[in-house]
Each structure stands twice: as C-alpha cells, then as structure tokens.
Structure 1
Amino acid sequence: MPTTLTSKRQVTIPKQIRDALDLAPGCAVDFAVNRDGHVVIHKVGACPTRQPDRFDAARGKADVKWRTDDLMALLRGEG
C-alpha cells in the first residue's frame, strides 16, 4: 500500500490499515521501528467516542419528490 509523503512530511494511513486497527479520528497511535527497519504502528488505548453529528438523525429522511428546476422556480417566486 504505497502512499506519498506530503510537503509537511505527513502521510495518510491507508484505509485497510485504519480498518484493521479500528482507527477513527482522535485515536492515539504509536510508531516504532523494529530491528529489521520496518515501521510498526500500534493503536494506543481506546479511541474517544465519536460525537453524533447533529444532522445524522435527519440524513436520508427527505421524501420530497421535487424536480430541481421546479423547486428552484418555486424558491425564486417564478411558479
């Protein structure tokens, strides 16, 4: 899983690794280099619980069957 070092010397942990370690935003990780020169990443403790997004409850609940053009005309007072 190659990744590229940014100009700030940062990398993104690939999704397969994040999933395997059950990493989420806010999780602490520890890096080490073993005697073969390989980098090892460990999850440190439990990850903080994710605060629910205030829009999660409403997401995907709309049942309005408006066509975009019709809705825009109504909002503009053209209909």
Structure 2
Amino acid sequence: MAVATITSKGQITIPKEIRQELLLHSGDRIDFKLTEQGKVLLRPVTRRVDELFGRLHKHGQQALSPEDMDAAIRHRVTQSDA
C-alpha cells in the first residue's frame, strides 16, 4: 500500500511507485474524483498528442512515417487475431 502525508498547505507527494505506474512527471496534471462510496479516484489528465511529441524517441532510432506506423499496427492486430 502506498501512503502519502498531507502538508500544512494541503499538498501531497505521490509515491514513486504510483508515479511510475501512471507515467507521471513533474508538471503533469491529476484529476481527482470522489465516488458515491466515498473513495477517491486519481487519474492523469489526458494529454494532446502534440504535448507528447518526442517522448518516445530513442537516440539512434529511425523515425517512422505514419504509413509505417499504420502498417505495424495492422501487422500486430493480425498477429494477435491468429
């Protein structure tokens, strides 16, 4: 169980394992929702694609065209259907 302490200013630090699992980074926005059962759901606010530009780049890796990406997705889908 991950536990956090509330500061006098009402702030918390999200435990490292939760940040890693949700792929959260400094400056990311979080949505809190209170359920009817009195539980709180915490989830990252969805980002626009252009905000993610360059995050998946690996040094020395060739960039793929949109057509190449579509072909790879089609190939993967047909593989998983088999």
Q: Tell me the TM-score normalized by structure 2.
A: 0.52
Number of residues of Structure 1 aligned to a counterpart in Structure 2 = 49
Unpaired runs of 5+ residues, structure 2, are 53-82
Work out the CA distance in 2 between the residues paired with 1:2 and 1:42: 16
Identity %: 39
Which one has more relative contact order, counting CA pairs under 8 Å at least 6 apart?
Answer: 1
Instruction: Compare the two structures and name the one with the higher helix fraction.
Output: 2
Q: Tell me the TM-score normalized by structure 1.
A: 0.53
Larger Rg: 1
Runs of 4+ in 1 over 4 A off after TM superposition: none
| Residue aligned with 1:18, SS | helix
Q: 1:37 — aligned with what?
A: 38
**RMSD of aligned alpha carbons:** 1.8
